[in-house]
Amino acid sequence: MEKGKLYLIPVPLGEEALHTIPTYVIQRIHQLDFFIAERAKTARRFIKRTEPQRPISDLTVFELDKHTPESGIEDMLRPLREGKDMGLMSEAGCPGVADPGTLVVDAAHNLGARIEPLVGPSSILLALMGSGLNGQNFCFHGYLSPKKPELAKQLRAMEQQSKRHRQTQIFIETPYRNQSLIEQVLNVLSGSTRFCVAADLTKPSQYIVTKTIAQWRKQKIPNLHKRPAIFLIGDF
Amino acid sequence: MEKGKLYLIPVPLGEEALHTIPTYVIQRIHQLDFFIAERAKTARRFIKRTEPQRPISDLTVFELDKHTPESGIEDMLRPLREGKDMGLMSEAGCPGVADPGTLVVDAAHNLGARIEPLVGPSSILLALMGSGLNGQNFCFHGYLSPKKPELAKQLRAMEQQSKRHRQTQIFIETPYRNQSLIEQVLNVLSGSTRFCVAADLTKPSQYIVTKTIAQWRKQKIPNLHKRPAIFLIGDF
């Protein structure tokens, strides 16, 4: 029996950013009955905002997190095995990038199902585009350590790696720790290193600024408390 | 005088993929008079396909390549300095990612202009999403060496890096060399390493398959000659 297709559905980076989702993605969402998402409630809220013809209650949404066991993922993929298409969604951004969606894509590959990534917003990619730092060679590290001495070590290692390979280093932080992260970056890195702060991407309050560490030290640190942000460093 | 904004405009990954560009991006394109692109001819052809109300001949398109001197970029950005918005386009995909657009974004940051990255297709991101490999930690290397011994060295180094950091390694090749690259990957890497081949992304002929090197060795190599492709390896 032919397997269903797994559609990877990007989700806007904020409530007000539905315009960032191409029409063909919305149309695809409206054709699917089965979804996998991190939180069923926010997934249903997003689908509802795309104005489907059918009641949301007709849809099945399976919940996935990084602790979901392999057997749980196999259960979720039953529709796919039975030839039905499914949609995988992230909480915000692209599934499989900085989220647990990878587990599902991997399992779908093992089933021999077709994978169809759809186009939409990724804060990592938008930040890289907007940074002006090298986009021909870059590395995304996810979250760094919350412990100050370890964080300082990681930042210095990234600065070295950036210099050695002309490679942009990208990382994130939980939004309530943005301010202390920026302070630590300005303390630890050398004056000539370039540092980009990209926050609230695709929102009206979007902020993307790249300066050298020396320039950043001379100005007031922007207030990014609780605003989702991406950080990039480049030293070349 | 307030500077113009620099909009970073994604371009479809193939002639037939206009549907991957969100409507708000098309609307933005129709509001701009000044563009920077790698090739004016293909940029105008793309803009024409978005069906603007005005004749294409009214638009100014500056050409940029990796050899454009800094002074040339400053000249191009004159409209921005004079308060007019501009659009930066890639040949395909997102400007500033694996293309020379970075030079323009960097210069616009130095002018203090606002940078507005817009949402659209990136073959690198779509490949990462579709691969099922780790999307929480990944590295894009651009083109590898065309020389076999050096290429083998680079592949082994990436395999090591992938294992050590649980980090997905992403790279590209000029499409007419895809077959010999795949052969070299299958020769050089260890059987348990996972290898994803993602080609013709967003096109009807899209191909995304992830298998271990041992599994790949048992099957016929897919014919990707002259088809744009992204390659990913993961060993974890």
Q: Which two tokens stand for residue B221?
A: 């190599």
Residues A13 and A47 in one domain: yes
Question: Which residues in chain A are contacts of B109 at CB distance < 8 A?
Answer: 132, 209-211
The answer, for B77 touching chain A at a CB cutoff of 8 Å, is no
Q: Look at residues B71, B89, B117 and tell me which one is the last residue of a structural domain.
A: B117
The pLDDT tens digits of the residues spanning A48-97 come to 999 999 999 999 999 998 889 989 999 999 999 999 999 999 999 999 99
Average of pLDDT values for A97-107?
A: 93
The answer, for A210 touching chain B at a CB cutoff of 8 Å, is yes
Mark yes or no for CB contact A125/B97 under 8 Å: yes
The answer, for B141 touching chain A at a CB cutoff of 8 Å, is yes
Residues A10 and A93 in one domain: yes
Closest CA to A198 of B115, B197, B145: B115
Amino acid B224: pLDDT: 92
Amino acid A134: pLDDT: 96
The pLDDT tens digits of the residues spanning B48-107 come to 999 999 999 999 999 998 889 989 999 999 999 999 999 999 999 999 998 889 999 999
Residues B18 and B109 in one domain: yes
Mark yes or no for CB contact B119/A208 under 8 Å: no
Residues of chain B with pLDDT > 70, as a percent, come to 100
Residues A204 and A135 in one domain: yes
Q: Look at residues B90, B117, B144 and tell me which one is the last residue of a structural domain.
A: B117
Amino acid B97: pLDDT: 94
Average of pLDDT values for A31-47?
A: 96
Could you tell me which residues come within 8 angstroms of residue B73 by beta carbon, excluding any fewer than 6 positions away? B64, B103, B104, B107
Q: Which range of residues forms the domain containing residue B69?
A: 5-117
Mark yes or no for CB contact A141/B137 under 8 Å: yes
Q: Say whether pLDDT at B11 is over 80.
A: yes
Q: Which two tokens stand for residue B107?
A: 């210069």
Q: For chain B, how many structural domains are there in total?
A: 2
The pLDDT tens digits of the residues spanning B189-234 come to 999 999 999 999 999 999 999 999 999 999 998 899 889 999 999 9
Mark yes or no for CB contact A117/B96 under 8 Å: no
Ranges A15-19, A74-78, A155-159, A161-165: which has the least confidence: A15-19
Amino acid A66: pLDDT: 82
Mark yes or no for CB contact A102/B206 under 8 Å: no
Residues B109 and B155 in one domain: no
Amino acid B1: pLDDT: 79
The answer, for B135 touching chain A at a CB cutoff of 8 Å, is yes
Verdict on whether the full-model pTM lies above 0.90: yes
The crossing angle, in degrees rounded to 10, of helices B148-165 and B178-188 is: 60
Q: What is the CATH number of the domain that holds B30?
A: 3.40.1010.10
Question: Cα distance from A147 to chain B (closest Cα, Å)?
Answer: 19
Residues A102 and A127 in one domain: no
Residues B133 and B200 in one domain: yes
Q: Say whether pLDDT at A235 is over 80.
A: no
Residues B16 and B94 in one domain: yes
Residues B25 and B100 in one domain: yes
Amino acid B65: pLDDT: 86
Residues A46 and A88 in one domain: yes
Contact map slice: B 176-195 vs A, CB within 8 A? none
Q: Say whether pLDDT at B235 is over 80.
A: no
Q: Say whether pLDDT at A180 is over 90.
A: yes
Average of pLDDT values for B13-32?
A: 95
The answer, for A144 touching chain B at a CB cutoff of 8 Å, is no
Q: What is the CATH number of the domain that holds B167?
A: 3.30.950.10
Q: Say whether pLDDT at B236 is over 80.
A: no
Closest chain A CA to residue B124: A125
Closest chain B CA to residue A6: B130
Average of pLDDT values for A198-225?
A: 95
Residues of chain B with pLDDT > 90, as a percent, come to 90
Residues B105 and B147 in one domain: no
Q: Select from B125, B145, B172, B205 the residue whose CB has the most chain A CBs within 10 Å, as the one to mutate to test that interface.
A: B125
Average of pLDDT values for A33-54?
A: 96
Q: Look at residues B56, B87, B117 and tell me which one is the last residue of a structural domain.
A: B117
Average of pLDDT values for B38-52?
A: 95
Closest chain A CA to residue B22: A22
Mean pLDDT computed over every residue of chain B: 95
Amino acid B15: pLDDT: 84
d(CA A107, CA A91): 20
Mark yes or no for CB contact B115/A130 under 8 Å: yes
Question: Cα distance from B2 to chain A (closest Cα, Å)?
Answer: 16
Residues B142 and B228 in one domain: yes
The answer, for B23 touching chain A at a CB cutoff of 8 Å, is yes
Question: Which residues in chain B are contacts of A119 at CB distance < 8 A?
Answer: 20, 119-121, 126, 202
A vs B, Cβ pairs < 8 A, gives: 150
